[in-house]
Amino acid sequence: MGRRDPPVPIIAATEGSAADRFARSRAWHERASRVLAAGVSSQFRAFGVFHPMHYVRAEGARMWDADGNELLDYTLAQGPCILGHSHPELVSRVQAAVARAQLFAGQHEEEVLLAEALQRLIPCAELLRFASSGSEAAQACIRLARAVTGRQRILKFDGHYHGWLDSVAFNVAPPGNAAGDAPVPWCAGIAESAAADVICLPWNDLDAVRRTMARHGDEIAAIITEPVMCNQGCIEPLPGFLAGLREICDAHGSALIFDEIITGFRIALGGAQAQYGVTPDLALFGKALGAGFPLAAVAGRARWMAPLQAGTTYHAGTMNGNNACVAAGLATVELLERDDHAALRRIARLGAALRDGLAERGTAHGLALRVQGPGPMFHMAFSCLPRATEYRHVAADDRAAYQSFCRGMLLEGVRLIERGLWYVSAAHTEADVAATLAAADRVLAAIAAGRGT
């Protein structure tokens, strides 16, 4: 699984500026910017505490950048690398699959084996389809809901992210206290006509959902939600919220869709639906399912998958179910199931220790920190609000202070996601957690002293 040594600061503070430490990476970014729009292939990579970084190798819980700096990684490729980077058994299984064939554009045995495993694990998975990304899986779920109900509109929640495509790209990060049924487009270029099909509400507010469905329920094909609001604040559902959504959808004949792209195979092998005991009609999975390979799945009850069975609606993709990604998914499921889910239990334990340790160090330095989430993933923010339950609470966080924290941690040799979300992998160790908390203690002390980074 790679090195187990605790990380050390990249370069002592007196040995040069950050520009010196990441000079080669910066040069690569400047070169990339001449051929790639903004120098990146995903807009999320355009953000960086100094500049977008370039990497040359990753193993276990560590990465090495273009300047040779070793970084303890809690980004995990934005979540997929649940086993850590380049897990040897995973890599071996993928290599063997590719040696047999790259792509059949037809069915193969491992695709069936993976689907059978997911059907066994995921409560709603009476039938499945494979895809290559969460964005397209979300669209498939919405299309199925519309096909079954004959309705057009969907209800989603402020701060929830269901991919970058137009139909769901509203109120992802709405300004101010935007809430209600007036959706705010995520960015320029979103089709104005798509707004008419979307209603957006504050999350964890069951009364708001009930009122809206009472007025518009006969127009709503589906309610789509992250069962844990991971992308903004890692906010868990309030008691009864998910069950309440289930009851409301049943009452109005609408589909309940769980976006389990982050929660699936991380909070539990069966996803948040298994963890919280609420079964949706349709669900989408990705990220950890492929452990770093582009693999997603649509899982659903037979009634809601029926249009695919009948061929009355279409879901397609040249790369769907390709050999390498299916082999990665099958290996991931088998590795996570091994020894009575030992890897998942370890991830949960280490994540909780890291989460709680960060909160304790914030308190020790007199800083207003909020650290919350299930443990396998959690969110850290500088905020006077001790608990967030919906997007407006997260929107008020001090993002500049967290950027300062990320800069300090990067200089300590720890790579973080700049929006506050942390991921823990099966490759992280107790020593990694201890070293990370020691680094965080130094950075928080500097922030508390007004020095920043």
Active-site residue, from 67, 73, 161, 166: 161
The answer to whether 418 touches 400, Cβ cutoff 8 Å, is no
Whole-angstrom distance, CA of residue 67 vs CA of residue 20: 9
Neighbours of 175 (CB within 10 A): 7
Single out the residue of 168, 178, 93 nearest to residue 136, CA to CA. Answer: 168
Question: Which H/E stretch holds residue 296?
Answer: strand 296-300
Q: Is 65 known to be catalytic? A: no
Q: Is 74 known to be catalytic? A: no
Distance linking the first and last C-alpha atoms of the chain:
32
Q: Is 276 known to be catalytic? A: no
Q: What are phi and psi of 189, to 5 degrees?
A: 95, -5
Whole-angstrom distance, CA of residue 108 vs CA of residue 297: 16
Amino acid making up residue 11: I
Task: Report in angstroms the alpha-carbon separations of 8 from 409, 431, 437.
Answer: 11, 12, 12
CA 387-389-395 angle, to 5 degrees, is 85
Residue position matching structure tokens 């997603």:
296
Active-site residue, from 65, 287, 397, 402: 287
Q: Which two tokens stand for residue 354?
A: 């890291």
Active-site residue, from 65, 158, 259, 432: 259
CA 424-323-43 angle, to 5 degrees, is 50
Active-site residues, by number, are 161, 259, 287
